[in-house]
Amino acid sequence: MNPILECNGLTKTFGPKKALSDINLKIGQGQIVGLLGPNGSGKTTLIKIATALLTPSSGEIQISGMKPGLGTKKIVSYLPEKNYLNDWMRVRDIIGMFKDFYEDFNPEKACDMLKRLNISADDRLKTLSKGTKEKVQLILVMSREAKLYLLDEPIGGVDPAARDYILETIIGNYNPEATVLISTHLIYDVEKILDHVIFINEGRLVLSSSVDEIREQGKSVDGLFREVFRC
Amino acid sequence: MPWELKPDRPIYAQLVEHIVQMILSGVYPPGSKLPSVRDLAKEASVNPNTMQRALAMLEEDGLIITHRTSGRSITEDSEMIRKTRTRIARDQVSEFLEKMQKLGFEKEEILSIITEMIKEVRG
């Protein structure tokens, strides 16, 4: 199986601070992967390098054999941790924008999901609550037929019911050939849907394992995380 | 039947058990069609890959049959369903017997307790 994402000696420093140090990693196709680590462990840095928003200090990252750039942006659908929707836009405008930007965007799928949330195409984004905006953003990202979805903290800011909705959206739109990488520290909520987990701490890779392997040892991912990251 | 999943055992194994229970209890009668992997995964809120793995195991056991074009259905072989039911019952009883032995009960004592309790239940 060709890896969809591969890191070789990936290192990123910000001045004297090492955000990532010597990460070696391979992620295969057709999986839901959890990128797990405490706050400040390097999760977002790793995702930002994969989306070409940051460049590595040394080492490299490859997506489907390519360096992050124009080619990879066509196949990677990215949900940043921040809200980037323009408040003056209507839902219809943002759908139009995604359609213009991404060849693989499926507007019917997006409209259908928005309808189910009772969000109208005429709604102005500034009238939506924070949680609803996050859902809209996720719907846009999941409506692309990408090969790799990079979701940075998709469930961080929302209530438990909305969390369930978001996880259902991820499962429901998941294409078995695509890989979904979810970064989060809310492990208990996501562990049911993960195939594979990656633990990182202080910029280092601590563990990369299938979830079944962890559970076959009679442990939950949440339990193992607490063991590994005991303060 | 709600899908209750324990955090410290592989999910696919728990899904297999749950689906077997649904078959034995008649939620999915012999010969009936199973929902798609995606729908089942959504219902149980698990990863479709995991559901796929569980269904593949049930298929290997012969309880589920995959049709090339029309999805999956439960076997019509009621003998096989009956055997599965007996196997699960035997597993449960042997677990029970082990516990009773740990409590220091002899075979005859166990039997007499069971007989007594069955009478009580019948009222």
CB contact under 8 A, B45 and A216: no
| pLDDT one-digit tens code per residue, A57-94 | 999 999 999 999 999 999 999 999 888 888 899 999 99
B41 touches chain A (CB under 8 A): yes
Contact B51, B37 (CB under 8 A): yes
At a CB cut-off of 8 Å and minimum separation 6, what does A12 contact? Answer: A18, A19, A20, A42, A45, A49, A54, A56, A57, A203
Q: Which of A187, A212, A225 to mutate to test the interface with B (most CBs of B within 10 A)?
A: A212
Alpha-carbon distance of B28 to A105, in angstroms, equals 38
A31 touches chain B (CB under 8 A): yes
Confidence of residue B4 (pLDDT cuts 50, 70, 90): confident
**Is B1's pLDDT higher than 80?**
no
Name which of A32, A172, A220 is nearest B8 (Cβ-Cβ): A220
Confidence of residue A1 (pLDDT cuts 50, 70, 90): low
pLDDT at B57 (0 to 100) = 93
| pLDDT one-digit tens code per residue, A184-201 | 988 888 888 999 999 999
Alpha-carbon distance of B25 to A221, in angstroms, equals 32
CB contact under 8 A, B46 and A192: yes
Determine phi and psi for A199, rounding to 5 degrees: -100, 130
Alpha-carbon distance of B46 to A30, in angstroms, equals 15
**Is A179's pLDDT higher than 80?**
yes
At a CB cut-off of 8 Å and minimum separation 6, what does A213 contact? Answer: none
pLDDT at B123 (0 to 100) = 60
CB contact under 8 A, A172 and B38: yes
| HSE of A148, CA atoms in CB hemisphere, 13 A | 26
Find, in chain B, the residue whose alpha carbon is nearest to that of A30: B49
A1 touches chain B (CB under 8 A): no
pLDDT at A176 (0 to 100) = 81
Average pLDDT over residues B28-36: 92
Average pLDDT over residues A102-113: 92
**Is A2's pLDDT higher than 80?**
no
pLDDT at A229 (0 to 100) = 85
CA A62 to chain centre: 16
Percent of residues, chain A, with pLDDT higher than 90: 61
Q: How much is the pTM?
A: 0.84
Find, in chain B, the residue whose alpha carbon is nearest to that of A171: B47
Alpha-carbon distance of A51 to A63, in angstroms, equals 9
CB contact under 8 A, B42 and A172: yes
Alpha-carbon distance of A41 to B116, in angstroms, equals 61
Confidence of residue A10 (pLDDT cuts 50, 70, 90): very high
Q: How many CB pairs under 8 A join A and B?
A: 56
CB contact under 8 A, A168 and B7: no
Q: Which of B5, B49, B55, B57 to mutate to test the interface with A (most CBs of A within 10 A)?
A: B49
Q: Which chain B residues touch A191 with a CB distance below 8 Å?
A: 7
**Is B76's pLDDT higher than 80?**
yes
| pLDDT one-digit tens code per residue, A128-167 | 888 888 889 999 999 999 999 999 998 877 788 888 888 8
The alpha-carbon gap from B42 to the nearest alpha carbon of chain A, in Å, equals 7
Name which of A31, A216, A223 is nearest B49 (Cβ-Cβ): A31
**What is residue A181's three-state secondary structure?**
strand
CB pairs under 8 A, 24+ apart, for A60-69?
A60/A7, A60/A8, A60/A9, A60/A10, A61/A5, A61/A6, A61/A7, A61/A8, A61/A10, A62/A3, A62/A5, A62/A6, A62/A7, A62/A8, A63/A4, A63/A5, A63/A6, A63/A148, A64/A2, A64/A4, A64/A147, A64/A148, A65/A2
User: Exposed, middle or buried by CB within 10 Å (0-12, 13-18, 19+), for A65?
Assistant: exposed
Confidence of residue A177 (pLDDT cuts 50, 70, 90): confident
